[in-house]
Amino acid sequence: FKMAVLSTLSIVGAAAVGLVGYVYARNRDTDVRVRIGHQAFMLLAYLCNMRAPAREHFNREKCERLMGKGNVAAKDEKRVFCEDVKISDNTSVRVFHQKDLTAGAKPAVLMYIHGGGFTILHSYSKDYHGLCRKFALDAPLVVVSVEYRLAPENPFPAAIHDVYEALQWVTYTDHPSVSLAGPAGARSISVGGDSAGGTMAASLAVLARDNIDADLRTATKPLKIAHSLLVYPSVNLKDTPSRAMKDAYILTPEIMNFFYDSYLGKLRDQVAQDIRVGAIWAARHDGLPPTTFIIAKRDPLRDDGREYFKTLQAAGVESRIVEYDLPHGFYTWYFLPAWADAIRESIADIKKYALKA
């Protein structure tokens, strides 16, 4: 009982710190507001010891119940059109765009791939529904959120097959909503994702550049990506200093290994340098699309993003990295000022590279 009371007081206290700081800085300096939000959250995380459960206690159903579902036909969806579309036996997508969007606005497409360690969560999870709705509201974009098969029931390479199939669909479909972004084969497409989704977004950029499919065979139709948005991606399986991080919240090294084992299984060593698992293993990195990195500093995957950013820069790829002093997962935490800042940074680069392509 005492622990419950202390936890409650900790949450209320941290929330109060964040709220007071946000209101105080509201009309002053955005960076100050973001920094206050960072510190308020870290205080909350420290006091409440917000860590992922040990792998033996990990429960997909409880996690997904906690995340909830975003309603396609929500009553407040006055400004955003939303529709679920089944594109194959294995794959579906959730499409978003402003209800008054017209082809005259020359929108780009953002194909977004949700995170969850290849093992949990969905395109319809409430956080991802809200995130994609935000993208559609704040930019002239047609947003296509991909529902892919999850491990361990559907291990590697099922997920990368599904997102590759989704990219083909986005590129060539005549679906009315996607056609707002131009005729088949001529659309400007940004591919983004967070965590496992960022991992696959990075791999798709390599596959599209090299004109190969998810089976590493010559593609039947060419695919082109105008911009990549990589939010704390994993790009290899090797150990890095951040993967030994002892103060990681939400995603711990132990849970990360559980996700890898669930997705890759006995193939883990065999595919460790497969470009569909880690884009950093591509034979070359020139010719990849402009890439935006959103990185969490208190994240076991921090060094993956930093290393891949340096790799792309060395190859002459136009790229930019933005880091936040927060843990893995913050990209869907709407209560943080840093979330709004990260979305603004993301949209700015989508507009810069995809809308002009």
CA 297 to each of CA 117, 187, 202, 237, 247: distance values in angstroms, whole numbers, following the listed order: 18, 34, 20, 19, 11
Of the candidates 217, 226, 222, 243, which has an alpha carbon nearest to the alpha carbon of residue 302? 243
CA distance 13 to 160: 43
Of the candidates 118, 123, 120, which has an alpha carbon nearest to the alpha carbon of residue 155? 118
The Cβ-side half-sphere exposure at 120, using a 13 Å CA radius, reads 18
CA 119 to each of CA 76, 176, 201, 264, 334: distance values in angstroms, whole numbers, following the listed order: 30, 31, 17, 11, 23
Give catalytic residue positions: 195, 299, 328
Beta strands in the chain (DSSP E): 80-86, 92-98, 108-113, 141-147, 189-194, 227-231, 291-298, 319-327
The DSSP code sequence of 184-244 is TT---EEEEEETHHHHHHHHHHHHHHHTB-TTSSB-SS----SEEEEES-----S--GGGG
